Amino acid sequence: MEKVINKMQLFNFIAKVFYSSSILSLILLSFNYPAMAYQESELTENDTLSVVLEPISVEATHSSVTLDRAAISVTRLQRSQTDMIARRASSLDDLTFNMPGIWVSNRENHALGERMTVRGMGWRSQFGVRGIQVILDDIPLTVADGQSVINMIDPAMVQSMELLRGPSATFWGNSSGGVLFMRTRPPADAPNFMYRGYMGSFNTMKQELRWHDQIGGIRWNAYGSYYDTDGFRDYSAAQLIRGGLSAGFNIGDNSNLETRIAYAGMPNAEHPGSLSKEDAENDPSMAWPFNVNTQSGKEFHQLMGSGKFVHDFTSGLLTVLGHGTYRDLVNPLPGPYITVDRLAGGLRTTYDFMNLPFDLQVGGEMNWQHDDRQQRINEEGRPSGDFVINQIDNVRSQGLFAKAVFDIENLSLSLGLRGDRMVFSVEDFIENIQSDRTFTTLNPSLGLNYELGSARLFANFSTSFESPTTTEFKNRLGPDGNILPGFNPDLNPERTRGVESGIRGFYEPLNMEYELAGFYLSVSDQIIQESEIDGQALFSNGGDGEHYGIELHTRLQPAGFLSLELMYTWIDARFAGGEFEFGEEFEGNKLPGVAPHRFGSTLSFHLGDHTLSGDTEWVGSYYADSENTAQNESYLLFNGRWSYSGLNISNVNIQPFISVYNILDTRYNTSVAINNNFGRYYEPGSSRSFQGGLSVRF
């Protein structure tokens, strides 16, 4: 009976989402918009909105789907030159705070990196990113087991960004609760050489170089940066070095090849830890003493490369993409001292048929991962004693997929199906045990897109799955109830089913693009931490989750000197039953680390050679623990920037800029350490800060 009620509640909600979206669509269309095909708009050199007539492909889907025909919630960001110059962009949240659906919490702790969720997916991650595919310049930063390491990304170098906001396993397979796809390639009309440097509060310094050109038929693109900061908090200093180089060239009349290599190194990143509520309020800049005593932090070096070959046959387009990753990590933490050497890579092949009465793509993908993992006890920043963990983890995955789009007058119908097989194996050198697990999964999708004058109505059903990571597999329950190293034989993937409906369009009188969407996600067999003994964690599948909400996003330019972007996201994400950590029941509780309300906006004025921009970000209160006893209070932030473009010497343009963050000096916590065992949930955000510098372009 209970299952029947749950199903009825689900279908009632789906009906409400579709009904509400239809009503809202009719309200918007009642403004008597002039009849025109939906056209994407983007920011140009002067931050003005201009209509782009040609179809824009959604690169995040790795298919021929264009934005006007996409039956999914997708947000596209094209950064202007002015924004590239004046925005600090030291963390991804500087770029995503006014994008609907995604929430990047800048923990101001480079040893942990940002927390990222898409519609609440990825909420349980304590470090790195879980449940979301992240791609930079065609190179997946998400490895075979579903972990994403985003230290590779220098947000200041990101030129464009696409976000798929719903389950996307038919496009990307494992860990695709959302997809964030980024490119560093500048537009063709951008200056060939660009330098930017700034200095600011907390002894922060950044130097950046970009270059692109075409020489001897080869299209070159390169960037490099160095970042150094003491951080707002004690014991939070970090240094980061990043760089990338790509070369693309044609092979005959019908083929081209593009190769890329990227490097990121962090020689040092101190880990100040999280604080209790009292310490975060009274002394937010302090570091947790035990973190300092154990010299907790991170050092890593990562090298990635890829090659992409495209050949245009008479019948269709063949694309072959190969990529590889090397990562060397040293990670002393309070308690464990961890080292990991990783080799990972993959190969993806697709064929897009061109001469059929409908669009069809078929393809296959394989990924692999090899982790040499060791862990000892951390004694004052040095590994000591016998190995607690000494094992090699291997992951192999294979996927086959097909996607088709049928156009029937104003209606586009999208169908997708993907099957995946994953094999996890571990060789434990402590117990001399070899274990393996195999999973198979099938993920369909179905979408509708209907053109209605100047707007597009869309609806979509899609699925995704999230396998356990190698770190979650690494321990098992012993016969006496103790935790042993090895491989957990009972841990299975969690699965997500999602529906969404919405409208997007363009309103010509205000030069405004907009999107409104409603969604529902049902998550089963969530992977949660069941217990922890002597620093060793045991994970299990416990309980379900429900996420539903509404997203609104608009960009407009009512006058040539003024542009405005607005975003609002409401989400209700809850535990939906089952047993969770330590056997406790949390049914009906809200998921920790997911803010129900968020608002973001950017207002820009262009006054001759001067540009003034202001950001507003409001985050509502949310819980830090599954019991819903600890709450992070809401906060409102204001940031501002000024730049001047009137300094020209010959063909060299020099632009000075100043930026101010947290103008009102608000005291707030920028993120939380979810379900911290010692009640130290809070990670304070920085006080008012200033940055000043200049950009040189020619």
Overall average pLDDT of the 307-314 stretch: 95
Q: What is the pLDDT of residue 29?
A: 40
- Which tens digits make up the pLDDT trace of 268-291? 999 999 999 999 999 999 999 999
* CB-CB contact of 141 with 148 (8 Å): yes
Mean pLDDT of all residues belonging to the chain: 87
Confidence of residue 31 (pLDDT cuts 50, 70, 90): very low
DSSP string, 154-174: -GGG--EEEEE-S--HHHH-S
pLDDT > 50? residue 6: no
DSSP string, 431-475: TTEEEEEEEEEEEEEEEEEEEETTEEEEEEEEEEEEPPPHHHHSE
The CATH code of domain 2-429+445-674+682-697 reads 2.40.170.20
- Which tens digits make up the pLDDT trace of 205-254? 999 999 999 999 999 999 999 999 999 999 999 999 999 999 999 998 89
Q: What is the pLDDT of residue 481?
A: 67
Overall average pLDDT of the 667-687 stretch: 92
- Which tens digits make up the pLDDT trace of 128-184? 788 899 999 989 999 999 999 899 999 999 999 999 999 999 989 999 999 999 999
Overall average pLDDT of the 322-351 stretch: 95
Confidence of residue 509 (pLDDT cuts 50, 70, 90): confident
pTM for this one?
0.89
Overall average pLDDT of the 12-40 stretch: 39
- Which tens digits make up the pLDDT trace of 76-93? 999 998 999 999 999 999
Q: What residues contact 272, with CB distance under 8 A and at least 6 apart? A: 109, 231, 233, 234, 235, 236, 286, 287, 288, 291, 292
CA distance 265 to 119: 31
Any idea where the domains of the chain sit in the sequence? 2-429+445-674+682-697
Q: What is the pLDDT of residue 534?
A: 56
CA distance 55 to 50: 14
Least confident of 466-475, 535-544, 625-634, 672-681: 535-544
Overall average pLDDT of the 120-126 stretch: 85
